[in-house]
């Protein structure tokens, strides 16, 4: 009985997947990959490998850049600024809480990184695509 309960409790962590996202690869203003499709319970680990960036949820359209402190939306996120200027490659881990689309960008330089395309989508949809979000960011 106890063993079965323990096994059932462990199932989510056994099936959960981590999705690695590199922030600032090759010193570029980018998230790699730009899109992750994940299930509830999965994690997304953002690793900053250059400069000083954030991953922060924002609006899909309209006021996209810069993302606001604290992030946008229920179950959104805000890593705050993470600096790799000392070579420490800081990480931010987000645990996926729903299957809704979430759009994120870097808040650095008053939105300049965001407008330059430093954008990311978690579970984008047919009506809210990463490509359209990127266009919205560049135009915001």
What is the DSSP pairing of strand 35-36 with strand 56-58?
unpaired
User: Looking at the DSSP assignment, which residues form a beta bridge with residue 82?
Assistant: 53
Mask for 25-54, x = binds Cu ion (CB under 5 A): ----------------------------x-
Size of residue set near Cu ion by CB under 5 A: 5
Judged by CB under 5 A, the stretch of 57-65, 78-86, 114-122, 132-140 that binds Cu ion is 114-122
Beta-bridge partners for 21: 46
Tell me whether residue 3 or residue 85 sits nearer to Cu ion (CB atom). Answer: 85
Binder among 47, 113, 120, 133 for Cu ion (CB under 5 A): 113
Pairwise CA distance, residues 137 & 135, whole Å: 5
Site string for Cu ion, 53-82 (x = CB under 5 A): x-----------------------------
Nearer to Cu ion, 113 or 115 (CB): 113
Do 13 and 48 form a contact (C-beta atoms < 8 A)? no
Residue 137, helix vs strand vs coil = helix
106 binds Cu ion (CB under 5 A): yes
User: With contact defined as beta carbons under 8 Å apart, do 89 and 45 qualify?
Assistant: no
- Give the 3-state secondary structure of residue 27: helix
Residues that bind Cu ion (CB under 5 A): 53, 106, 108, 113, 118
């Amino acid at each position: 009985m106890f063993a079965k309960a323990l096994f059932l409790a462990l199932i989510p962590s056994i099936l959960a997947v981590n999705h690695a996202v590199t922030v600032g690869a090759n010193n570029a203003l980018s998230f790699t990959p730009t899109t992750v499709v994940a299930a509830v319970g999965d994690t997304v680990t953002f690793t900053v490998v250059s400069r000083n960036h954030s991953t922060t949820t924002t609006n899909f359209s309209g006021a996209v850049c810069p993302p606001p402190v604290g992030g946008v939306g229920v179950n959104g996120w805000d890593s705050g600024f993470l600096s790799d200027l000392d070579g420490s490659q800081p990480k931010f881990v987000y645990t996926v809480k729903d299957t809704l689309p979430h759009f994120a960008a870097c808040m650095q330089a008053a939105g300049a990184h965001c407008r330059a395309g430093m954008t990311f989508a978690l579970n984008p949809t047919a009506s809210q695509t990463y490509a359209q979000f990127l266009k919205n960011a560049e135009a915001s």
